[in-house]
Amino acid sequence: MFLTGLAALAVVPTLPTAARDLDGVALFPLVAGCFVAAGLLGGVVGGHWADRAGAQRPLAAGLLLAVATLLVSGASTSIWQLAAGRFLDGLAGGMVAVAINTAIGQAYPDRLRPRVLALMSTCWIVPSLVGPPLAGLVSEWWSWRAVFLGLAALTALPALAVVAVLRGPSWSAAAPPEAERAPRPALLVATAVSLGAALGQYGVSGWNARHLLCAAAGFALLAVFATRLLPPRTWRAGRGLPTTVLLCGLGSGVFFTLEAYVPLLLVTERGAPPVVIGLAFTGAAVAWAGSSWVQGRLLERAPRHRLVAAGALTQAAAAGLAIAGTLPATPAYTAASAMVVAAVGMGLYAPSLTVLSLAHSGAGRHGYASGAMQTSQNLGQVTVLGLASALFNATLAAHAADAVGYGAAFALLLAPCALGALLATRARSPHRP
């Protein structure tokens, strides 16, 4: 988790600068969305691999692939190669995230899981303090490519060491009988969903017939195939795991959209240097870790669904700050504080939903539940970011100022925040505290 946090927090702040240098600002939603689209496939593959063979193998494979993706992205000569690198990174990230959550479900009892999840969040503290500001300085003084290639060199040997350590006995109990295993969607279904997500992100990056056709095809694929990767009754917010999975998508979509568009606003409209954007990511990571520590220690006996509702309302406040940050009368970096506030909400929101998902799934199904959560997270990010991007580009097509487009995209985020707060009670844990 430390290696993942270091790479993720150093890379993401450099993406707006890389997109600008590669003349691909219009395709920035595709660069951001490719990571999410591949995460859909990686989450499904990693979840079912973990249920059948334990969490170690998908975790090791994801770590090695993550190093390779840094090399691909760092050598980018076009926005399309950068998007391809982000796609591979999403595939690796989906496998790693699901494998870690599955390992927690396999190796720890219910009462310790909130603390273990809080420990996973604390692994992001040092990367958050060092990664974004250092990456911003390297990008500003040298090159954004040096960030990718330097991280590849830095993480290659530790990743190999972790892979060697993981070659021990499995953490999981004996594999359950075939009849008791969670249903395994075909790889073709997961591939179709990933393709649909990528087409959708490309489609909303423009406003002409070709882009509209790609957007329609992408969201049609999602409508047909996405439901096969999620628990039944997810779209109807059925009580228990279905609502928990749905809430994961809503919250992640809000946070990811803020994380994508706030730095782009600061770079393109306010002329903020990369180091300032790196500091905003640092503040967000520290806020997330601190909020997660609070829920795991001080609020460990609080009902999880109430923490989910509190996190959703905090995200709504963050969206309001982002809207205010687009106004000319506000300080230039007001919008940057939205990332920190949204991270506080996610520190309450995400670990609580993970605990609820594991509580709602039985033995031998932790990988299935973790994979469904990862799939919902990525679908939520693709859908919310896609809708916000479509609104942003439609506003620009109407010859409005860029600030108006950003404001409209941020205002859209209030809807999933409100829905998350309203549906939280339907995810109530089946066990007494």
Q: What is the pLDDT of residues 305-362, one digit of tens each?
A: 899 999 999 999 999 999 998 888 888 678 889 999 999 999 999 888 888 888 887 6
| Mean pLDDT, range 274-288, rounded to an integer | 80
Taken in order of first residue, the domains within the chain and their CATH numbers are 2-167+185-427 (1.20.1250.20)
Residue 172 has pLDDT above 60, yes or no: no
Give me 26's structure tokens. Answer: 């219009």
DSSP element (H, E) containing 91: helix 79-107
51, 54, 55, 59: CA torsion to nearest 10: -110
Q: How far is CA 87 from the centre of its chain?
A: 13
pLDDT at 169: 60
pLDDT band at 173 (very low <50, low <70, confident <90, very high): very low
Residue 179 has pLDDT above 50, yes or no: no
Residue 95 has pLDDT above 90, yes or no: no
Residue 433 has pLDDT above 70, yes or no: no
pLDDT band at 421 (very low <50, low <70, confident <90, very high): very high
Listed residue (150, 140, 37) closest to 94, CA to CA: 37
Q: Tell me the C-alpha distance between 254 and 312, whole Å.
A: 9
Residue 397 has pLDDT above 50, yes or no: yes
Residue 407 has pLDDT above 50, yes or no: yes
In sequence order, what DSSP letters do the residues of 304-363 get, joined into one string?
A: HHHHHHHHHHHHHHHHHHHHHHTSTTS-TTHHHHHHHHHHHHHHHHHHHHHHHHHHTS-T
Measuring CA to CA, how many Å separate 390 from each of 19, 157, 206, 253?
A: 19, 42, 8, 15
Percent of the chain at pLDDT exceeding 70: 91
Q: What is the pLDDT of residues 204-248, one digit of tens each?
A: 776 778 878 888 888 888 888 888 878 888 888 888 888 999 999
Residue 295 has pLDDT above 80, yes or no: yes
Q: Tell me the C-alpha distance between 244 and 240, whole Å.
A: 6
3-state percent helix, strand, coil for the chain, nearest multiple of 5: 80, 0, 20
Residue 176 has pLDDT above 80, yes or no: no
pLDDT band at 420 (very low <50, low <70, confident <90, very high): very high
